[in-house]
A and B are shown apart, each in its own frame.
Chain A
């Protein structure tokens, strides 16, 4: 696999504040990588460096083998900014035509992207009448023009409803399958809905995790929550038998590590008819994310 985006110990200082600190990561062709972090974690600064708007203070950065901001690099990368804005008095079609011209892409193919993102009906309406979600989708259509090598999406789903978000990831998956590298940022792991191949987490400018989601989950070692409901309504006895804590009159909650899950479930099964219902919840994506950003908090009290 060829790395379309390659960052090697990239740093960026603003005065005495280090916004991006020794970030090393790569995104290969066909790969979808999500960059997570709170506001101010350094995601946008990293993006601006990839676009060539900002120069790294230290370290090396390459886009499709070229220096960021060079003509070759800009031809390779497509960008969707957070809260994308267009001239309000232009129509969706005019916006797409303009960017197709700048990117030397086929006009008909570019206009077809409007249908792909669900703006076919609204193509001749002025952008000023679009909702936030529609503007975001127009921004995505713009970013897809000319099949870019690297798709850079800054918090692309923040204004979208769940259905559009699902559509959005469908398109992202499609474009990655065609060989584009997708690098997108988000501030919530839940929003990603596990639709990316790898998750990188930034905290205070540092990259603190970079792995596929199942690995992150395993690495976090967060407990699985098992909730057991007793038939008789006697949670007290159940809690004594299973060693969990009573939640209400009927239910008991047990926390256990991933490798001991089956053992616990067998123990619950052994109780037979005394148990009326059982609910197993793996740690949520937000729990995993909180674990990583929280871990960094302890290392570096601020």
Chain B
């Protein structure tokens, strides 16, 4: 079983390199992280927190938008596109199970994503640490950010596969992926914000809101990272919320894992039923 998964994953990573997905996502993440680090590291002197922690705080917001987008772009073509173009038929006829195919593609895509996140954030974090005088302080924050960003990406890979397996055309899958991104990382938050404005101190804001927040993978990711920032609470508005959460930050992590299992499981279930 492992041989097949590794073979499929290896091929997917090779395709990621050939099709310039790896280099493109590394460039995008490095570019945005670099800009944020430059802009964000200016006021640290007055707050008295190490630069790396400040940078990590801004990068976590960047991750919420960019990492799901990259993951969805990697994933949307996986089932629909390959069946459309006929490249999947041969693999499906081989003595390989559907689970092995999907798991292999997942690991391959996750490797592409991990390279992008580690390189993009690692470079930026390294540059910030090098430029500042606080040395390795805040390194743990950066490491946590990188690991959870990859986890967030894994969730959206799963969602992307599910979308891809549900439709048969690449174009539809692409549209669905963009729609998922828009709802999951933009509209959902806007909706919550709107409800907060309408019902500022009712039962919604005090009881329901934190749970609705942690139910979204993007927000769960943000909550977990900001709650772990500790001394940097004053840096972002959301850190205050993290403080007032009615549950430990581990719940946010559990939410991410729950999403991963549900999305991948759902994708596998649909993929198994596909008759190419």
Taking Cβ atoms with an 8 Å cutoff, the residues of A that contact B are 48, 51, 53-54, 71, 74-75, 77-79, 81, 83-87, 89-90, 94, 98-99, 101-104, 139, 142
Interface: B47 (CB within 8 A): no
Taking Cβ atoms with an 8 Å cutoff, the residues of B that contact A are 3-4, 7, 11, 14-15, 18-19, 85-87, 89-97, 275-276
Q: Residue of A at shortest CB range from B19?
A: A89
- The answer to whether A71 and B14 touch across the interface, beta carbons within 8 angstroms, is no
- The answer to whether A89 and B86 touch across the interface, beta carbons within 8 angstroms, is no
Cross-chain contact of A85 among B19, B85, B92, B95 (Cβ < 8 A): B85
- The answer to whether B3 and A101 touch across the interface, beta carbons within 8 angstroms, is yes
| Given A99-B94, A102-B96: A81 in contact with B86 (beta carbons within 8 A) | yes
A-B contact count (CB 8 A): 64
Give 18 A-B contacts (CB < 8 Å), ordered by A residue: A53-B92, A53-B275, A71-B97, A78-B93, A81-B89, A84-B90, A85-B86, A85-B87, A87-B87, A89-B19, A90-B14, A94-B11, A101-B3, A101-B4, A101-B7, A102-B4, A103-B94, A142-B90
Q: Residue of A at shortest CB range from B93?
A: A79
- The answer to whether B93 and A51 touch across the interface, beta carbons within 8 angstroms, is yes
A86 cross-chain contacts in B, Cβ below 8 A: 87, 90
- Majority DSSP secondary structure for residues of B touching A: helix
Kindly provide the distance from the CB of B137 to the nearest chain A CB, expressed in whole angstroms.
43
A51 cross-chain contacts in B, Cβ below 8 A: 92-93
Docked pose: A31 CA to B5 CA in angstroms: 35
Kindly provide the distance from the CB of A45 to the nearest chain B CB, expressed in whole angstroms.
10
Q: Which 10 residue pairs across A and B have the least CB separation, nearest first?
A: A85-B86, A89-B18, A79-B93, A74-B95, A101-B7, A102-B94, A75-B95, A81-B89, A85-B87, A51-B93
- The answer to whether A81 and B90 touch across the interface, beta carbons within 8 angstroms, is yes
B11 cross-chain contacts in A, Cβ below 8 A: 87, 90, 94, 98
**Extra 12 A-B pairs, beta carbons < 8 Å, given A74-B96, A79-B93:** A48-B275, A71-B95, A74-B94, A75-B95, A79-B90, A87-B11, A90-B15, A94-B11, A101-B7, A102-B4, A103-B94, A139-B90
Docked pose: A43 CA to B246 CA in angstroms: 62
- The answer to whether A99 and B90 touch across the interface, beta carbons within 8 angstroms, is yes
B4 cross-chain contacts in A, Cβ below 8 A: 101-102
Docked pose: A100 CA to B97 CA in angstroms: 16
Docked pose: A94 CA to B15 CA in angstroms: 11
Q: Residue of B at shortest CB range from A72?
A: B95
- The answer to whether A89 and B15 touch across the interface, beta carbons within 8 angstroms, is yes
Kindly provide the distance from the CB of B235 to the nearest chain A CB, expressed in whole angstroms.
43
